[in-house]
Structure formats: C-alpha cells, structure tokens
Chains A and B, each alone.
Chain A
C-alpha cells in the first residue's frame, strides 16, 4: 500500500481500482451513502456520498481514487446538501417511521439522525403507491422505496432472476416487478433471494415476522450509523 489520497486532511491508502468511498470505508472512515453496497458495482444515483475532489463535486462511490487527490467530505456545506437530499427522499415517498418494521434498522432513518435532519422541511408529495401483498412470503411496500436499485442488481446479478426493474421517468420513476400482472406473486421471487436481503429501507419485508427484534436492540439503536462503518465493507453487510 503506497498510494494515498487526502480525505478531510487525513491520508487514506487505497488499492488499485478502489473508489474514494471504498477506500474510505476500508480505512474506517464513514461517508454517508444509500445506494452503494459492497457486493455490487456502484452506480451513484442517491448522491448522498457527494464530496468535493480537487475542488469539484463528485460522487465518492464512483470516483476512482488517485494518488494525491484532495477530498472534502465533512464540511458544513456538504452536510447541508446531504440533509437536503435526505429531506428530498423523505417527501418523495411515504415514510412513517413509528409504524415501520424497519425502524431502527433503516439506513434512510439512520442517515437522517446522523446528519441532524430534524424535519422533512419540504412539502410532501404523497405519491399513491399501492402495497403488494400477492406473494405468499413477502410483502412489498413501495411507499418506502428510495429507488436505490439494489434489489434490481441483486436479483439480476446474484439470483439470476430479474424480478425488479425501474419504470417511468423523472418524478414518475418507480419500481416494478417482472410480471404482466405487475404483482410479485406472479414472479419467481423467493424469500431466500439475495434481492430480499438488500433493501436499505422497508420495502421488501418477510410476512408473518413482525418486530422480531425489539425496539431498542435494533441495528442503529446503540450507536449512530457512522460508528457502524466496518459493516459497510463486508460481504453480506450493508
């Protein structure tokens, strides 16, 4: 390990081919992110990991690390932008944390706390997103979808099934399943699929297994998400 770049003034070593986000996480430095997962190719759509690199803003998850790069992440301006992005996602969907099975283990919620998001700030869009109960083992609550695409990649690349895809454009973009009926029950999706494990929020949930982990003992109940940085470098993590 000889090559390094500077992240908020700290020297961060990196291996050839690593992105700024991958190198930072490996070095134990947390950079907020939602659509990045260590097992999949980064695509950079959520923009939470926006940093400035040599003065220009870029997504840390897709930015190749190069020697001597000067990266700023934890500045007031960037934290403010990240708060705005979380608030945008909060008003774009229908997020009701108190009744959500994923509360306490949800990356969106945890990032909100991490970044000091005290309110949604913007006007809610209240989209109409019907819930899909058609599958025997899994329910899909599209209200919580943040369009991170992880289930799409997992289903296509690991499960080899292509159960999920994005449809529509712009603010009308939404998750669809691979069935003429549009119902998950008419696909070959299974609870054991990788795609069932990767949702950072509460869209893909197993049926008949509510609140198995009590509030207070959930993933981010003990410490903020930035203290869980090691989990974002492991296979099967994130």
Chain B
C-alpha cells in the first residue's frame, strides 16, 4: 500500500524553468525593473485585490521588493503606498530587503527537528560560509528556517526558492553546497530531489473513490440544488478543517443570505504543523476537490470559486492550473456549468488558514482575522456571502453528491460521519497518509503505522491536544478527540519540553499581531521558555507561564492566540517531569537577596532587631 513517487513530471519541469529568471538577477537595472513591474500589473488588470499575486510575480522577476518597487506597484493599482507596504511586510515569503539568489528555508517542524534538520542546516551554513537568517555578502545565498512546509512524512525538507526538496541528509547538503557555490540553475539540480511522494499507507472510501471527473457534477445537476443540500444534510458532513461545523448549515446560510453574488473558497492553506493530507489531495485528487467546489457553487448559487493555496505548496500551482484547464476542455468548468475556479497563492502566513483572515488575504490585504459576527456566509469575500471549506471537506462533498448522503453516513460514527485523512509523522516505521473511518482509536493508528514505545501523540497539531499513553484508547472524532488530521508520534526518547518550546516558537512567529494578548503574550512565553531551556528557570517561571496562558486564552482575538498556550498547558499537566528536570530550582529563587539589600536601611535607622529583618 506504499504510495508511489509522484510528479517531477512536465508540470514540475515547467515550474523549475519558470523559476530560473530569479537566479542571478537580484540587482536588475531600473529600466528592466520597471518593464517587469508594468507587465505584471497589466497581466492582473491593475487590480489591487490581486496584490498578493502581483507582489509574488514582481519579486520572482526582481529578486526582492525594493522601496521603489512598492511605490510603482501602489501607483499601478491606485492604492496608498503605505497599504501596499502593509501587505508586503506581513507575509514571510515577501522580501522588502534583499535576499540571496538562492533562498534555502528549512522546515522548522518539530518532527524534522528531531530527525536532525538543525544539524543539516548548520552544515549547509558552514559549507556556504553564511550565517543563518543573513544574506551572504555577495548576495548568493540566504539560509533560514520556516514554519512547517507540509513534508513531515518525508523530511527533513527544505524549500529552495520556494520549491520543496525532501529527504535531506548530509550527502544532499554537501551536494547542495557545491551546486549553490557553482551557481547551477535549479533546473539542472537532480530531478529526484524535487519528488514529493504521496505516501498513502491506508485507503478507504475517499482515496479509493474511483469517481470519473464530472460524476458528482452530473448527479448534482440531475438532482437539483435543494436536493443536493438535503443529501449533504443526510450525510451529516462536517468540516474537516478542525472545527467540524455542519456543512449543510453553512451552505444553506450562504444560499439564503442576500447578496449580489456568492463565492466558494477552498481553504488549501494547510499550515498546521504536522499536517500534509491536503497536499496529497491536491496533488493526486485535484479533480475531486474541484468537483466538490463546483457542487458547492451550484448548490449555493455561486459562480466563482477560489483555491487559496498556501505559498509552501507553490510547486502544486502549475499542476492545479493544468487540472483546471483540463476540466474547462471537458466542459466541467466555465460558462457551460456557470462556475469557474481561480487559484490564489499565499505567501507564508499560518494565520491565513483562519477563514476570515484568508478572505482578507484574498482581497490583497494583511491576513488579520475579522471580528465576527458577521460571518463569512453572509459577509465574506468582498462583503458577499461566501462558503469557505477545507480541501478534504470539498472532496467529501463531491463524494456525497455522487453517492448520496446515506452512503456517506454509513461510515464513521453517529456524530462524525465518513472517513478522515490522517497525516502520520514522527517516530513510526511508516509515516504517511492513513484514511480511517471516524471513531478509530489512537492505539489502532499507532499499531498500524508501526510506532513503538510511544510516549505521546500530538493530535491535530500544536493547536490540538497532546495525548499521553493512558489515553491511547480514545477515539478520533468530534465526540472525543476532534482532529484536522495531524498525528505526530513521539517515542520515549523525546523531550516533550522541547516539543512544547518548538510549538511556542511557531505560534510566536505566526501571530498576526492584531491583538495585544497574542502579539505580546506569545513573545513573553517565548522569553520564559527560552530561559528554562537555558537552565535558568524556576517554579516562578512556571507560574508566570500559567498566568500568561490564562490571559491569552480568555482575551485573544482568534483561535491562534486562544490555543497558543495549549501545548504548554498540556505538557505541564501530563509530562511535568520533562519540565521539572529543566528547572534550576523547584523553589522561588529571587534574583537578589532581599534581606541583604535592606542592610543600608538598617544601618541608617540603627536597627538590627528581628522586625528589621525579612523572615528567611
């Protein structure tokens, strides 16, 4: 059942070829720069809502986004310059300072860290004489870390100029040093480095669907919109992104909401560390996902859909475009069916997985979660009724459309119907994609992926739950352990304090900064975690951490800030020895001796009685 090695096909070759111009042209002359900017602006109709795509394409051409470049773009789209700067500086993959002609980003996912990614990165930096996070003096290369790139089953992985290279090891690092030093174009790097395997380990009704493109669409057209909605309701389909909202309710609300037009948005911003199942759906089942979007469009009365593809999955952009073109030619998209799909590429911001932040980003703005109500189903993209669904949810919707709700609900449990894709990574013999009916126990997954001596499982990523061995009989599903799909295994060797610290660094890096408690709170937590890691922590720091978590949990604007403390709280509660052994002392240790500090006061007041001393 091991998934075959995929891609590196023509689409990837095209992408690598397209990537070539950004090499060796970091300092283009003004005339060329202006021509490049104007041609990108023209291609996007000088439309400010296309700003993300404009910024990316201009950066591809010029290497970085210089102050003059931002001014030219602002003029071109008729926006205040400050608003363009605002967007450009929000996303990790836009650079307003020069970066290397080769940009190597190591995935900072904890699983890959435990597999030695840090040592590999240090070796790469040494080999290239470059400091992490800095650009080489000659502008040749920059090396840094980035949040999980969705390759946890085949790491350690890197992005080189935003294209993934998996299965890094010392041999590949050494070869990469030589390739970069010799300035070999990416197109001439070993093709097998860019292979991304599907790694499908267990299939069920979703991955075994065998639907011919158009089957779900034909069933929807035959049945009608309301009847399709009824099937979704009968199937009790719930969102696969984590929250588990009833899809029928969401679609119905959007269908009923007044608006000039409606939109379907596919949330392919799969940023939760340890999750990579959407990558596989988009890579090998793109038709099914597109079909689900089209079914949704016909059902709620939308004519336009968008796939919000995370910047880390840029290698899928060309294959997805080809899939859309194929469907156009087959009459499954476009005027014939009254529904079309466009792809919007993100640029490195975990927060855009939050649906309202995603919509802001789709409009060309910073990815800041909106205040709700109103909800996207009534006031979504451009203020119009919008359905935002996860990739897997839409794929399931296509299955429901084709086979009916009763068929769908036959698998899974009463409250969690159907199957769930799990992204299994970490300490196990067979990492990859596992499809199970909802209700499967943690233990069964562990047994089938070949995990031994397991200490903990992080279910649903850092914002999910850390499960200890005495909880392995718990079942995945909305009744017990809800999950968006991440399943990270840590065996007895692992230090769960370091796992928690990695997750804290992740949230601190990905906080959008909108609200005070998340922006400052994640940073203050990071101070404390790093202090403990350095061996200077005491119980006082633990108490401070607990209080910060409480403040963030109750006052933060969105789920990121509210759950950012979870990995710390979970491991404090369940794996206290991992923390305790890091502490300098279990007692409060003041930085100064308070009684000694009072000596001058005692001297001045000529007192030395017991009341003039602090109790020791």
Contacts and interface: CB of A to CB of B under 8 A. Distances in A.
B373 A46 contact: no
Contacts of A62: 371
Interface stretch (A96-104, A174-182, A192-200): A174-182
Contacts of A88: 516-517, 520-521, 524
Interface string A80-92: 0100110011011
Interface stretch (A164-172, A202-210, A212-220): A164-172
A44 B513 CA distance: 13
Contacts of B27: none
Nearest to A43: B371
B527 A123 contact: yes
A167 B85 contact: yes
B453 interface: no
B512 interface: yes
Interface in B477-501: none
Interface in B60-117: 67-68, 70-71, 80-83, 85-86, 89-92
A157 to B, nearest CB: 13
Interface stretch (B270-278, B326-334, B547-555): B547-555
B555 A85 contact: yes
Given A44-B557, A50-B554, A169-B90, A179 B81 contact: yes
Given A44-B371, A81-B554, A171 B80 contact: no
Given A81-B555, A88-B521, A171 B89 contact: no
Contact of A47 (B68, B524, B557): B557
A224 to B, nearest CB: 21
Given A88-B517, A178-B81, A168 B90 contact: yes
Interface stretch (B151-159, B183-191, B463-471, B503-511): B503-511
Contacts of B349: 169
B359 to A, nearest CB: 16
B522 interface: yes
Contacts of B70: 180
Nearest to A167: B89
Most chain A beta-carbon neighbours within 10 Å: one of B85, B516, B527: B516
A122 B82 CA distance: 32
B515 interface: yes
Contacts of B511: 169-171
A170 B85 contact: no
A180 B81 contact: yes
Contacts of A235: none
B46 interface: no
A169 B512 contact: yes
A7 to B, nearest CB: 18
Contacts of B548: 84
Nearest to B79: A162
A133 B552 CA distance: 36
A142 to B, nearest CB: 14
Contacts of B557: 44-45, 47, 59
Range, interface on chain B: 35 or more
Contacts of B89: 167-169
Interface in A1-57: 43-48, 50, 57
A163 interface: yes
A166 B90 CA distance: 9
B420 interface: no
A131 interface: no
Contacts of A165: 80, 82-83, 85-86
Contact of B514 (A45, A123, A167): A45
A125 interface: yes
B255 interface: no
A64 interface: yes
A64 B508 contact: no
Contact of B67 (A81, A147, A167, A180): A180
Nearest to B84: A165
Interface in A57-71: 57, 59, 62, 64
16 contacts: A45-B515, A50-B554, A57-B555, A59-B371, A81-B551, A84-B547, A88-B520, A88-B521, A91-B524, A92-B519, A168-B90, A169-B349, A170-B509, A170-B523, A173-B519, A176-B86
Interface of A: 43-48, 50, 57, 59, 62, 64, 81, 84-85, 88-89, 91-92, 122-123, 125, 147, 162-173, 176-182
The 5 A-B pairs with the shortest beta carbon distances in the complex, nearest first, are: A165-B82, A162-B80, A173-B513, A88-B520, A178-B82
Interface of B: 67-68, 70-71, 80-83, 85-86, 89-92, 349, 366, 371, 373, 508-517, 519-524, 527, 547-548, 550-551, 554-557
Given A166-B366, A169-B366, 17 more contacts: A45-B557, A46-B516, A50-B554, A81-B551, A84-B517, A85-B516, A163-B82, A165-B83, A167-B86, A167-B89, A169-B90, A169-B512, A169-B513, A170-B522, A171-B513, A171-B523, A182-B67
